[in-house]
């Protein structure tokens, strides 16, 4: 699904919820074991329960890669569970020289067939270009993230008086083609998210940090949502592990429904 179709899906579902499938074997509900079969069943139940409310799913690949070959197979199987009617993001945060970046692009955007991939720009703009040479797929460039170490690099002031993350957005926007370049902006810094929106008015912003990390949904919406440039608010732990018993999927659906309801009220106010 191209991001051009994402806005229509947001309007149809009256939601801009992205469910993060950050599968942690140690947090599986009672009755499920950390086996490939049970973990896939967990993901399937979460996807089916939240599908009425979510417009996108983000798979954090680290949780799968940590399990070795079995985890990579689980990643492939999980991707196959996600229908074409939603936007899919591989959250791999890849960043490397051009030749290597081309292989990452092929792996995630063509072989695994995700709609988008998160990428790390801090080796330079030339490391982003190979992803856009792939026949299809979007990139979400890390701009201002929600982690405490944001200030170490992203939040540094340049000689021009701008922040480093603003320079990342400005230079990445120069690569913009057919709406394929988008940004990650953390929910815990809505003022920074607003700055990203000003620099990239037509991009989709992937916003982690609402829910377990304490980001505020209303503040993020006010700072960054426009009809021409939507947000994807990601929620992972608050939905995946809303329940620890046999009713985990029901409680995940309840949490997703509540978030989608709040989003619908906000969208109606535009």
Catalytic residues: 93
Could you list the beta-strand ranges (E) of the chain.
17-20, 54-60, 87-94, 116-119, 138-144, 181-185, 205-207, 231-235
Whose structure tokens read 């990139």? 139
Q: Could you tell me which residues come within 8 angstroms of residue 29 by beta carbon, excluding any fewer than 6 positions away?
A: 42, 241, 243, 244, 245, 246, 248
How many other β-carbons are positioned within 10 Å of the β-carbon of residue 43?
21
- String of DSSP letters for 40-64: HHHHHHHHHHHTTTEEEEEEETHHH
Cβ(35)–Cβ(235) below 8 Å:
no
- Among 201, 154, 203, 200, smallest CA distance to 182 is for 203
């Amino acid at each position: 699904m191209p991001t051009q179709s994402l806005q229509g899906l947001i309007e149809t579902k009256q939601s801009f919820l992205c469910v993060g499938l950050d599968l942690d074997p140690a947090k599986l509900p009672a009755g499920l074991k950390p086996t490939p079969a049970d973990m896939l069943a967990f993901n399937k139940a979460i996807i089916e329960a939240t599908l009425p409310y979510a417009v996108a799913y983000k798979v954090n690949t680290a949780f799968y890669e940590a399990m070795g070959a079995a985890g990579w197979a689980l990643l492939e199987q999980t991707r196959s569970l996600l229908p074409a009617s939603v936007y899919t993001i591989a959250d791999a945060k890849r960043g490397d020289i051009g030749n290597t970046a081309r292989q990452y692009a092929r792996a995630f955007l063509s072989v695994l067939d995700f709609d988008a991939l998160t990428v790390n720009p801090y080796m330079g703009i030339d490391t982003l270009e190979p992803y856009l040479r792939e026949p299809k797929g979007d990139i979400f460039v890390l701009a201002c993230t929600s982690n405490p170490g944001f200030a170490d690099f992203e939040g540094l002031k340049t000689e021009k008086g701008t922040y480093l993350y603003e320079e990342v957005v400005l230079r990445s926007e120069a690569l913009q083609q057919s709406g394929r370049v988008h940004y990650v902006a953390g929910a815990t810094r809505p003022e920074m998210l607003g700055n990203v929106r000003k620099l990239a008015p037509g991009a989709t912003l992937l916003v982690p940090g609402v829910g377990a990390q304490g980001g505020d949904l209303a503040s993020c919406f006010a700072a960054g949502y426009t009809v021409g440039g939507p947000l994807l608010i990601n929620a992972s732990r608050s939905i995946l592990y809303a329940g620890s018993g046999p009713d985990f999927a029901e409680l995940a659906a309840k949490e997703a429904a509540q978030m989608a309801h709040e989003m619908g009220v906000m969208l109606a106010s535009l």
